[in-house]
Structure 1
Amino acid sequence: MDEALLRSLTPSVLSVLVRRGADFAAAEDAVQEALVEALRVWPAGGASPSSRLPADRGDPLRDAKGWLVTVAWRRFLDAARSDAARRRREELLDEEPAPGPASGVDDTLQLYFLCAHPSLTPSSAVALTLRAVGGLTTRQIARAYLVPEATMAQRISRAKRTVSGVRFDRPGDVATVLRVLYLVFNEGYSGDVDLAAEAIRLTRQLAAAVDHPEAAGLLALMLLHHARRAARTASDGSLVPLAEQDRTRWDTRLIAEGVGILQGALARDRLGEFQAQAAIAALHADAPTAEETDWVQIVEWFDELTRLTDSPVVRLNRAVAVGEADGPRAGLAALAGLDAALPRHAAVAAYLHERDGDTATAARLYAEAAHKAGNLAERDHLTRQAARLNDCRCR
C-alpha cells in the first residue's frame, strides 16, 4: 500500500474521531495505530474490514478511509475502556458505526483550525498540527524550527498532554493556521515529503473563506514558488539553482495568478511577512533572465521582511541579495553577524566567497554545507560544487 495514500487520509480520519467525541491526543494515538495496522495487513488484500482493506468495492479511496476509521475507532474504544478515569464516557462511546465506506467530506482545513486550540501556545499548536495532521516527522519539524529533535519531541508531547481530555470545539486563530500551512508547503517544496500541492489546496480554501490579506499573501507565495518547481531539478534528479533554471519551464499561468493575488493583498496596505516574501518571489518571476533580476528592489523587500520578522533565516537570505546587488564583499559583510550554525549558512558563505574569487575557502565551505544538508538532493548538489572548485584548482 502506498504510504502517500495513508498520509493523505490521516487528517480526515483524525477529524472523524474528534467529531465523535475523542479527545485529540487519544484520537491521534488511535489513528497512528490504525496506520501501523494498515501497513501490516493491506498488502495481503482480502475483504474483511476487521483485518484487511476491502477488495475492489466502490471508490478505493473512500473504502480505505472507512477501513482506517473503523480500526482507529476500535483502538480508541479499547484504550478508553481500559482507562478507569474514562469509564464515565463509555456509554457515549459504545455505539460503534457499521464498517464500510466513510463520508467523502473534507474536514482537513477545519482540523487545522481545531488543532490551533486556544489552550496551546502558537508554537506548540503548530508543532502538534504538523505532526498529527500535516504528516511531518518530528525530525522534519525540528529542522523547520531550528531546534534539536529531542527538544521538538518534548514540545509535541507537552502539547498532547495539554489537550488531553479537551474537546476541540473552539478553533484557533488564522495566524497559527497560516504558519502551519507555510511550514507544510516548505517541507513539501524542498524536503523529503511531497506536501506542496496539499498545502496550496488548503490555502486556497482558507483565502476564500477568510478576509485576511496574509492568507492571500501566503497563497501568492506558494503559487509563485510552485510555478518554478518543474525547473528546479534536472532529468537525473539533481538540483538546478535559480540562476541556472530554464525559465521556459516555469508555469506562467501560476505566476500570473500569484502576482494578481499579491497585488490585491498589497493594495489593502496591511503588509505582513507572507506578502513580503511573495513580493520577492514575484520579482524573481518577473525577470526574463537571471542577469535582469532587480536585486536592489529585492534587498528593499528583504529589509521590510527583516523589520516584520527579525528572523535569522531572513537575514541569511538578505545577505545573498546584498551580494548580488552590491557585490560579494558586501554580502559577506551582511553575513558576518549571523550565527554560523544556521542551516545553509555555510552554503551561502561558499557562494559569496566563490564570487569574490576565493575558491579555496568556497570549496571547503561547500563541502561543509554538504555534510550538514537536510536532504539527499541538496547534499549531492553541494558536493558537486565543492568537487567542481577543487577540480579547477588542481588543473
Structure 2
Amino acid sequence: MDQGNTAFLLFAAAFVLLMTPGLAFFYGGLVKAKSVISMMMMSFGAIGLIGVLWVVYGYAVTFNSAEGTSPLFGIDTAAINLNSLLEVPEGAAYPPLAFAAFQATFAILTVALVSGAIADRAKFGAWMVFAAVWSTLVYFPVASWVFNFGLAEDGSFAYGGWITHGMQETFGVGAIDFAGGTAVHINAGAAALALALVLGKRVGFAKGAHVPHNPPFVLLGAGLLWFGWFGFNAGSELAADGVAALAFINTIAAPAAALLAWLVVEKIKDGKATSVGAASGAVTGLVAITPACASIDPIWAIVLGLIAGAVCALAIDLKFKLGFDDSLDVVGIHLIGGLIGTLYLGFFANGTGLFMGGDATQLLVQAIAAFSVLIYSFVGAFVIGLAIEKTIGFRVKNEDEIAGIDTVVHGEEGYVFTEKV
C-alpha cells in the first residue's frame, strides 16, 4: 500500500468535507439576518443525515458492482456493510475505505447545494425528508453512473459507470467528468430548479427585494469552498501525481478568471463590482472546471473561466424573467456552470475535443451525459418535493417567512444584541 497516496486521499476527503461548512457560510451570508440559522442548518443537517445514509447503504448503491458481486436491486450486498472494505487488496495504492470516505463527502456536498434554491421559506424537517429520499433515489444512482468504478486485480479502480465507461463502449469515447460536473453540479442545479418551482416564490419576490445580509460571510464561505475544491478536483485523481497537479493548477486558473469576468459584467450591467459578485464568480469558475480540470491545459482553463463567469453573471437574472425563485442562484451558478464545463470538453478536451484533434463524438457524449442527469434529477426532485408539499408541507407560513424563520423553526437567532431578561 502506498502511504503517500493514502494520505493524499484522506486529506482530500477532509478538504471536501470542509466545503459543506464553507457552503453554509456562503449561503448564510446571502440570506436575510433572520434566516441565517435556518440556511446554515440545512447544510449541517445534510452532513449528519447523508453521512449516516452513506455508511448504511449509500456506498453500496453507488458502487453496486465495485467488487464483482451480484447487486440486489442496485445494492451490492457485499458492500452494504463497510466492514467488507477493511481488507486492503495486495498491491492496492490505498485502502478501499479511504475511497469510500472520499466519496461520502461528495454526497454530502451535493445534497447541501440544493438547499440554496429554497432559502428563507423551507421547513427544516421537510428538507431533511427530501434530502433522504432524493439522495437515495437520485444522487446515489447518478453518482453510480459516473463514479461506479470496478476494481482491478491490484485493487485500483479501473473504470466508471455508463456515463464514462458505458458510452466509451458504444461511441469509442466516454463522457469526461473528472470530479462531478454532472453527478454533483448539474444534478444539484436541476434539483434546485425543481424545488424552486414546487415551493414557489418568496413573499415580495422581485429584483433587488432580497439582499445579502452579511457579505463577509459570503467571502469567507467562498474562500473555504475554494480551499476545499483542491481536494475535490485534485483528489479525484486518487493519487499524488502529474494529473493531480494539472487539476490543482486549473482549480486556480479557472475560478480566478471567472471571478474577473463576473466583476466586469457586473460593472457594465449594474455600475458596481461587488464582493458578492467576486465570490459568486469564483464559485462559478470552480463549478465549470470540475469536470474538465484534468483534461484541458491551464490556458484553456482560463478561457473556460472567462466564459463561465460572464455567462453565469447574466444567467442569474433569468429567474426574474422566467418567474422562478431560485433564492441563492443555484440554477444560475451550478446548473448553468456545470453545463458549460461539461459541454466545453466536447470542444477543448485534450486529444478528443472537436478543436483538439478529435471530432464531434466527444461533444455528443458530453451532451448525452449532461442532459440525462439534468432530466432525471429534475423529474425526481420535482416528484419528491411535490409529494412532501402535499403531505407534511414543505413551505413555512407566509407570516413566519416575513418575520424570519430562525426563531419559528429553530428557536434561535443568528444575532442577539441585547440580553433577554
Q: What TM-score, normalized to structure 2?
A: 0.27
Rg comparison, structure with higher value: 1
Q: Which has the higher contact order (CA 8 A, sep 6+)?
A: 2
